[in-house]
Structures are given as structure tokens and as C-alpha cells.
């Protein structure tokens, strides 16, 4: 009765374990694929040479050293030294250790063969392993499965010394030139479209307003770049923000040299000319526009009344200042300073200012 649910649980756990293991394996494969085969072999070769040199002064530990060196070869040529090297391989690396270990496992038999044949020319180890046996790499300036020489230009240079041969030193690639940023062409012997030649082997970037140019400057363009237009022999920035259709209704436009960007208006605005709630140009049907701010129609009358009250208070304080001025100038000046601070503080934070209130009264009276 209880066995069926039990077996179902076991089956689900088994599937989860398989999924986790598969995911980890895929992660390891992706990590290993970050480096090409040649680079992985180079890393392993460098590590082997590192430990070969580290053990160059070693000797047998314990026992009859004279007998062991006579019967079992010297330490330099012994299997004990090879084992010591193999045990430490890749351990000195701070990066690509997994890639190094994968090559160590793949090349273990080859390395033991190389050692048993007495090939102790360590300077040739990389070529012997990576080029001749694992066939992961090619000699410098060769590419592809057959290590074909990279093509040369008319002067006998690879990519005019201004690029690299695709697949250089690896068993990959097709040998075409991968040019440096400033150059283009089959052998990287021409300037790229937005560069101009200053010397035989030097190309410099055009002015940012140019797509192609003769020399540096906005007046030296062959063709203007996108976002620029030719005006009186010079490429000039196009102000896209003068067009009404570049941004949506609830966005405002910012012009940059050669481009523009659209930013969203404040949530209180229907349309606007800039950021913030005081840059509105139009409001929603239930709101009114006052000094660039959208205000609910139900609140307008109360806000106008508050503005009128502030106007009356400022007027009263100014009259008071005038009366004190006739008697005590110091007190009058103090009142004037306080009134100025008060006006600045209250009007800066007001939705409808006394200026709006006065304008409203004038329009109403007219």
C-alpha cells in the first residue's frame, strides 16, 4: 500500500540527481570551451616546464642514493621525478586550472612516453606535445588543420603588420586578416571608413561628425555621419528635438551631438518640455496648467485663495516696514529681510504663486 508512493519519491529524487549532475557537467563543458585547444595545451605545457625546472635540483629521499642513481638512473631522469612533476601539475595556476587538468589527463600517456624515451630537451616539449602529437597548435604564423602558412602581402608581411591572421598558431581559422580597428582590406592596407591616412602605416579617426573624411575636422568630411548634415561645407549636428514626432506625448526630447534621446515626463504631466512636475505643457482633462504644473481643478480655487492670503500678508508686512522705516531704519531693514526670506520660502513651494494669482485677477477683470 505504501510502497508505490515510496518508489515514486525515489524516482523523483533520482531524476533530480541526474538533472543536477547534467547541469554541472554542462557548466564544466562551457568553462572548458572558453579556451581553444591550442591555448589549453600551452597552459599545460607551461605548467609542465615550470615543475620540470622546480625539480631540477631534487634527489632521492632516503635509501642508498649512490645505488639508486647507479641502478635506477639519476634523479634527473628517474620516474620518481616524473611522478613528482605529475603530482604538482597545474597546482601553481590561479586561472584555467580545470583546463590544465583536462589536458594533463589527455596527455598522460604521451608525457610518459616522452619521458621514457629520454627526451629531456624541455625547450622542445611544447612543440613535441602540442604541435606534433596532440596536434592542438600550429607553428607561429600558420593556421588550420594542415598548419597552412598565413598569406603575405606584397612586402612579405602578414596583414601589413596591422592585423592578425585568423587562426594564427592554432588548428582553427581560415587565414583571412582580422584587421586592427583603424584598418581594412584583404591585407589591412587601407584605412577604415571613419579613419584617414596620416602616414604610410598610420590611420587616424575622423571627426565625430564624419562618416568618411579627408582629414580631421567637421569641414573635412567626405560624408556626414548619422545625426549630422552638411551646412556651408561643414557637418553640423541635426537638432532632432525640433521635430514634434521624435518622442511620444508623455516624453520630452534631449538633443545630443549626433543623436537624441527621449525621457519620460513626470507622472503628473500629460506632455512636458523637461523633467520634474514644473515642466508640464499640457494636463489631463480633470486638471489645469498653472506655471508649468498640473493641478486638480477641485483644488484650484483653494490654492488661489491661499495665494491671495499670502499676497495680503506680504502687503501688510511691507506697509509695516514702511511705517517703521520712518522711525527706526534698523528695525525696518530687519523686517524687509524677513519678508524677503518669507516670500522666497513660501512661493518656492507653492503650487499657485502670488504671480499666478495676480495674473488670474487681471485676466478676470479684463
Quote the CA–CA distance of 233 and 345 in Å, as a whole number: 52
Kindly report the number of other CB atoms within 10 A of residue 236's CB atom. 14
Grid look-up 522666497 returns: 344
SS3 180: coil
SS3 218: coil
Alpha carbon separation from 321 to 6, 160, 316, 366 (Å, rounded): 93, 85, 9, 32
Give the least confident one: 132-146, 235-249, 317-331. Answer: 317-331
What is the pLDDT of the chain when averaged over all its residues?
84
Task: Tell me: pLDDT of 237 over 50.
Answer: yes
Q: In the predicted model, what is the mean pLDDT of residues 240-252?
A: 89
Question: 5-64, pLDDT tens digit by residue?
Answer: 434 444 554 554 455 445 444 444 444 447 889 999 999 999 999 999 998 876 545 555
DSSP letter for each residue of 238-284 = --GGGSTTSS-TTEEEEEETTEEEEEEPPTT-SEESSSSTT-EEE--
**DSSP-assigned beta bridge partners for residue 223:** 212
Quote the CA–CA distance of 349 and 342 in Å, as a whole number: 11
The pTM of the full predicted model, rounded to 2 decimals, is 0.56
Question: 167-188, pLDDT tens digit by residue?
Answer: 999 999 999 999 999 999 999 9
pLDDT tier for residue 321 given thresholds of 50, 70 and 90: confident
Compute the radius of gyration of the chain from its Cα atoms. Answer: 40
Backbone angles phi, psi at 272, to 5 degrees: -155, 170
Amino acid at each position: 500500500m505504501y510502497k508505490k508512493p515510496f518508489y515514486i519519491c525515489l524516482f523523483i529524487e533520482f531524476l533530480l540527481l541526474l538533472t543536477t549532475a547534467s547541469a554541472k557537467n554542462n557548466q564544466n563543458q562551457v568553462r572548458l570551451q572558453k579556451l581553444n585547444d591550442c591555448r589549453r595545451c600551452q597552459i599545460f605545457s607551461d605548467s609542465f616546464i615550470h615543475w620540470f625546472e622546480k625539480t631540477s635540483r631534487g634527489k632521492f629521499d632516503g635509501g642508498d642514493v649512490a645505488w639508486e642513481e647507479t641502478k635506477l638512473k639519476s634523479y634527473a631522469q628517474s620516474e620518481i621525478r616524473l611522478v613528482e612533476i605529475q603530482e604538482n601539475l597545474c597546482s601553481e595556476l590561479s586561472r584555467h586550472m580545470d583546463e590544465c587538468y583536462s589536458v594533463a589527463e589527455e596527455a598522460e600517456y604521451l608525457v610518459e612516453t616522452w619521458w621514457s624515451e629520454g627526451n629531456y630537451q624541455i625547450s622542445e616539449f611544447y612543440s613535441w606535445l602540442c604541435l606534433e602529437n596532440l596536434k592542438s597548435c600550429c607553428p607561429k604564423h600558420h593556421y588550420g588543420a594542415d598548419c597552412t602558412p598565413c598569406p603575405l602581402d606584397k612586402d612579405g608581411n602578414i596583414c601589413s603588420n596591422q592585423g592578425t591572421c585568423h587562426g594564427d598558431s592554432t588548428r582553427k581559422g581560415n587565414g583571412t586578416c582580422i584587421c586592427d580597428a583603424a584598418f581594412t582590406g584583404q591585407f589591412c592596407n587601407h584605412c577604415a571608413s571613419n579613419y584617414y591616412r596620416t602616414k604610410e602605416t598610420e590611420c587616424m579617426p575622423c571627426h565625430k561628425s564624419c562618416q568618411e573624411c579627408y582629414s580631421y575636422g567637421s569641414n573635412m568630411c567626405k560624408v556626414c555621419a548619422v545625426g549630422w548634415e552638411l551646412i556651408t561645407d561643414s557637418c553640423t549636428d541635426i537638432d532632432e528635438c525640433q521635430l514634434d514626432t521624435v518622442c511620444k506625448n508623455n516624453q520630452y526630447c534631449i538633443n545630443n551631438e549626433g543623436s537624441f534621446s527621449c525621457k519620460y515626463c513626470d507622472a503628473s504631466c500629460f506632455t512636458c518640455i523637461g523633467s520634474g512636475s514644473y515642466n508640464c505643457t499640457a494636463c489631463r482633462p480633470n486638471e489645469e496648467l498653472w506655471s508649468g504644473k498640473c493641478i486638480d481643478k477641485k483644488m484650484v480655487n483653494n490654492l488661489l485663495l491661499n495665494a491671495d492670503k499670502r499676497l495680503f500678508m506680504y502687503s501688510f508686512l511691507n506697509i509695516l516696514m514702511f511705517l517703521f522705516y520712518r522711525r527706526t531704519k534698523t528695525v525696518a531693514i530687519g523686517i524687509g529681510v524677513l519678508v524677503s526670506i518669507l516670500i522666497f520660502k513660501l512661493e518656492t513651494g507653492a503650487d499657485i504663486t502670488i504671480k499666478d494669482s495676480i495674473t488670474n485677477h487681471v485676466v478676470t477683470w479684463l
